[in-house]
Amino acid sequence: MSTTALYSRLVHAGDGATEEQMERVVQTIHETPIIDNHAHPLLKPDVIGRHPLLSIVSEAHGDAIHASVTALPHQRAIQQLSTVLGCNATWESVVAAVDERRRDDYDAWVSKCLSGLQTILLDDGLNNENDVFDFSRHDSFTRTKCHRIVRIEAVAAEIINRHCVAFDDFQPLDNVFDNMLEEFDTHIKQALSDPNVVGFKSVICYRTGLDVPRVVNIAAARKMFSDIIVSYSASSNRFHRLQHVGLNELFVHRAAVHIRDSSDKHKKPIQFHTGLGDNDITLTKSSPAHLQEFIRTYPTVPIVLLHSGYPYVRDTAYLATVYANVYADIGEVFPVVGRHGQEAIIRETFELCPWSKVMWSTDGHWFPETYLLAILQVREVLETVICDFVRNGQITWQSAIQLVQAILFGNANTVYNLGLSLSGSGIADVEKHVVSKGSKVFRPPDCDVWSAFMRDKPEPDFVRVSWLDYTALPRMRMIPFRRFDRLVRANKPVDIGITAAALGLLQSDTTVPGVTATGEYRLHPDFSSLKVGPIEGHFNINGEFREKDGSRVALCPRAQLIRAIEVSAAEGITHLLGFEIEFLLLQRTGVPKDALPGGPVFQMLPNDGHAWSTSRFYNDPALATFLRDIVKDLDSAGIEAEQVHAESAPGQFELVMPAKPPLEAVDNLLHAREIIAHRATEAGFKFTLHPKPFPQACGTASHVHMSISSTNGDGDDEAIYEQFYAGILGHLPAIMAFTYSNPVSYKRLVDSAWAGGRWVTWGTQNREAPLRKVDGSHWEMKCLDGLANPFMAMAAVLLAGLSGIVYKKELTWGDCKEDPARLTPAQRQELGISEMLPANLDNALTALEGDEELVRLIGRDVVERYATVKRAEAAALGSLTESEQRERIIEQY
């Protein structure tokens, strides 16, 4: 995605469309199940190797196919297939990886390639019928059963061949013709009554062209038939290709008559191949405009014009617009046409054509990879084009959702009378399709992840589904293991109904202004976060809030980070994050709080020479066991601890986490904190993330190390990463509302204490700057503590940094290699250091609300809810004494 497109997506969401609404459109594009209204059977695994993979993105044949490797569609296919296969982006590597997937588990590979298809309508009239799966075999790869499209010419050719074989010289040819035609009529009528058949198809475009006359020349048809019978009955050759002027038109008209005259209220459609094809086609006769007279002759027969009529796209759109019985299919151009052409085809189609008349197909055939590429590309192109329609004010975001669901699902469902339900089979349905074949069961990803995770592990007692609210208070629901296991393995919903007020609660479980007890979200487990622990007998999985229709809840903190990651990836930017977990161990006084008014419930551990990185603390058996058990528990959860060391304050330690992609890094951070809290309690300590509980002791942070990379390899290019960090620095006062999210956070905001200081700046290996450059694009952010919601904090940081790349912001701050607080005003001015960080939470919230760009990036609704929660939280704390505030925060964090 270009920076211009990204800018539009992030900031200019279109007239009346918020960023969250645009995300709904994008989600609909990528999650709506597809009715593939035209495709062909797949080759059986034992014969697929006989056919060249090179033909998957080209209609060229013979010697011409070899030049296709220099075509844009082929080059795009290499990139997409290599990404899916995890191999090098060369055609040789792709072919080798495809061969390996086929050998390892052909059905599993096909299932992956066809993922997202609700059903396929199969034209099984291609040659090599013994080499392909029966149409019903394809049911095992789609969510619901597949259906047949009867090819008119294939039926006619088979009947004619039988009459050629049976013919003898004593039979009058006119009688043979009549018998043949009667047999054809019977076959069409049987197909009309067959529930497995949902339509017909003609390839007359290939044979005699689309200039079908309004009235059949029956005499010419008889003459052509007689010539065929005489010729083929005298030879041993099989008649298989109907390509005879007069006779081809006869069968197409005959089929249309039977459809028109059928008693069924719903008429089964005829598909016509139009436009795009191999060199067997006469291009000048392939425009659907030639069918205009035929369309007028059968106004009650639904007619589907396949393949956009490419290159006659506007002809197709015109006919579908002005004739009630005509529909435009926009298949096969994915993946045979280059991306710029695909976008043009979508735009040209909708210049005139109503979206209620458009449907989509893969034209997948023989190779499962043809399906895979078509599905990937149509969703990619629809996102570009349809979102532009919304941004440009041509349609509303609600209409965009209707358009996508119509062309991918609804229109084909109606035209072919399939009787499927979008709400029960797609975006709103958490139940996935499970197909059993013999003893082998192909399950959706969640079940695969769960089954692999459970291998060789003892059964826990509970599975925790966790979330982090706007106060950063960890919350969870526990599901007994056997119930959770049963639901996942049976592909039943495991989402949990949670009051919508959950994202507007304070620590006291009271709601903030504007939040009521009405409404409900669904908490969806994200199986990528599945981990053992944090205590014995528990597994944990983080959840994401969804609406009942499956769409994301914009207010969900986890969804905020996911969105930031996705938007960054669309720009070709990826990140690694590595957190430092600083925590403080306290001792409990053992005195109930109400028995000692104003007295401390938690006290600092005795200072037995405890200092930064000292070794002798480990002589304490309780501390030694505690730290050892933490690392063991992390290892059991699949989380590596890079280092553990003592920090400055008595009982203060730091655990260093490895660099991981952002979502995994935050998931690991939260899980590690829960493990530490559990082990601390077990050892008789109180664990806290309070940033500054005791004025005389060093504060506690949650520093994060960041690095960026890009798909074109220039992530460590100084110009790129400096733009990223310039974006962060430019928005840092507003970001502080998320990273220093509690009034007590600002007790740690002091100069000359290795805490990042109070000035907006950066410096190479300078721990007195909020951003410390370590090496290349690897920088450390120091103004973050454990009371922040890391999902929201890192979403704000990544989006702010990305805005720097989008706008090509300059790093106008010089490299500050000294404590900025100790510089003279003139020295700070020379380094471009002019702004101080907010002195308190209220100032930070004001900075956030006044940062219009960051508000748009995050979402105005999210910022408004966040500010409301934080101000209510601050007010509640403000009613307490300083000692009570400290005890309250230590209790909760």
Residue-wise pLDDT for 733-762, tens only, equals 999 999 999 998 888 888 777 777 888 898
C-alpha torsion sign, points 338, 342, 345, 347: negative
Q: Which distant-in-sequence residues (6+ apart) come within 8 Å of 45 by Cβ?
A: 102, 106
Look-up: residue for tokens 């922040």?
A: 788
Cα–Cα distance, 716 to 492 (Å, whole number)? 45
More confident residue, 97 or 6: 97
* The pLDDT value given to residue 685: 87
**Contact by Cβ (8 Å): 315, 289:** yes
Tell me the CA distances in angstroms from 164 to 160, 182, 186, 269, 638, one per residue in order.
6, 16, 19, 30, 70
C-alpha torsion sign, points 596, 598, 601, 605: negative
Rounded mean pLDDT of 638-663? 86
pTM equals: 0.55
* The pLDDT value given to residue 712: 53
Nearest residue to 5 via CA among 559, 339, 392:
392
Residue 536 exposure: Cα atoms within 13 Å on the Cβ side:
4
Residue-wise pLDDT for 802-849, tens only, equals 888 888 888 898 888 888 888 888 988 888 888 888 989 999 999 999
**Is residue 765 left, alpha or beta, with left meaning phi > 0 and alpha meaning psi from -120 to 50?**
left
* The pLDDT value given to residue 759: 86
Q: Which distant-in-sequence residues (6+ apart) come within 8 Å of 240 by Cβ?
A: 127, 157, 161
Helix (H, G, I), strand (E, B) or coil at 587: strand
Cα–Cα distance, 367 to 98 (Å, whole number)? 10
* The pLDDT value given to residue 711: 55
Q: 118: pLDDT confidence band, cut at 50, 70 and 90?
A: very high
Cα–Cα distance, 35 to 256 (Å, whole number)? 24
DSSP element (H, E) containing 790: helix 790-806
Q: 715: pLDDT confidence band, cut at 50, 70 and 90?
A: low
**Contact by Cβ (8 Å): 612, 650:** no
Top-ranked range on mean pLDDT: pick from 340-354, 480-494, 601-615, 709-723:
340-354
Share of the chain above pLDDT 90, in %: 43
Angle, to 10 degrees, between the axis of helix 368-391 and the axis of helix 91-113? 80
Residue type, 746: Y
Q: 197: pLDDT confidence band, cut at 50, 70 and 90?
A: very high
Q: Residue 4 pLDDT more than 70?
A: no
For the chain, give the mean pLDDT.
Answer: 86
Q: Which distant-in-sequence residues (6+ apart) come within 8 Å of 247 by Cβ?
A: 156, 220, 221, 224, 225, 228
Q: Can you list the domains of the chain with their CATH numbers? A: 443-553 (3.10.20.70), 561-892 (3.30.590.10)
Longest distance between any two alpha carbons in the chain, whole Å: 118
Tell me the CA distances in angstroms from 222 to 172, 178, 231, 233, one per residue in order.
12, 9, 14, 16
* The pLDDT value given to residue 405: 93
DSSP element (H, E) containing 706: strand 704-710
Cα–Cα distance, 813 to 760 (Å, whole number)? 9
Rounded mean pLDDT of 461-466? 92
Residue-wise pLDDT for 602-649, tens only, equals 777 777 777 787 877 777 888 888 888 999 999 888 898 888 888 888
Nearest residue to 91 via CA among 69, 109, 67:
69
**Contact by Cβ (8 Å): 88, 96:** no
Q: Which of 8-12, 471-475, 712-716 has the lowest mean pLDDT?
A: 8-12
Rounded mean pLDDT of 28-33? 92
In Å, how far from its chain's centre is CA 746?
Answer: 38
Helix (H, G, I), strand (E, B) or coil at 59: coil
In Å, how far from its chain's centre is CA 530?
Answer: 19
Cα–Cα distance, 446 to 53 (Å, whole number)? 31
Query: What is the dihedral angle through the alpha carbons of 340, 343, 349, 351, rounded to the nearest 10 degrees?
Result: -100
Q: Which distant-in-sequence residues (6+ apart) come within 8 Å of 231 by Cβ?
A: none
Residue-wise pLDDT for 44-87, tens only, equals 888 887 888 888 888 887 888 888 889 999 999 999 999 888 88
* The pLDDT value given to residue 127: 65
DSSP element (H, E) containing 482: helix 481-489
**Contact by Cβ (8 Å): 542, 670:** yes
Residue type, 37: N
C-alpha torsion sign, points 423, 424, 429, 434: negative
Residue-wise pLDDT for 75-91, tens only, equals 999 999 998 888 898 99
Task: Give me the phi and psi of 30, to 5 degrees please.
Answer: -90, -15
Q: How many residues in total does the chain contain?
A: 893
Tell me the CA distances in angstroms from 833 to 686, 814, 827, 846, one per residue in order.
40, 8, 9, 21
Residue-wise pLDDT for 527-549, tens only, equals 889 899 899 999 999 999 988 77
